[in-house]
Structure 1
């Protein structure tokens, strides 16, 4: 993943502390910046994982719907039973996707 803001691998050195900041304030600034970068990485990872799970849920639900239609072969009673199973899976998948918003 490319860095949006280039960062050095070293902590703030004395010459990198903004003018008017003490060494302690510079250290605090560095610590807070690192915490924000960590939050961003965690958020990005959660979004990527949520997208992956959502994509798999969509593909699998569509595949199961098509397979149920094929297997029912026009029989309405069989179609109703198979669609019930697909609906149950859809609810399960929806629950898994919803967990990423919590």
Structure 2
């Protein structure tokens, strides 16, 4: 189990980050880009097999995070943990995710 919690640059100068780590279970990948003048966060993540992650993602509301056109909480195996102080939290099973989070 691991935590994914991207932090956005409050100055707005950093608009893209990419990182990967070779864990004992496989590659963990986290990559985000600000889009639309900071209105949305595009977030790609890979959770290796036999693993799960807690995702804490900046989001305007509980339903602002989507995988394709589906609310993330509606994706098989994903569990919504809550939304507080502009952050939506989820438990993610292994897999690759291409997420969009509306920030405002």
TM over 0.5: no
TM-score (norm 1): 0.20
TM-score (norm 2): 0.20
Larger radius of gyration: 1
- Of Structure 1 and Structure 2, the greater strand share is in 2
- Of Structure 1 and Structure 2, the greater helix share is in 1
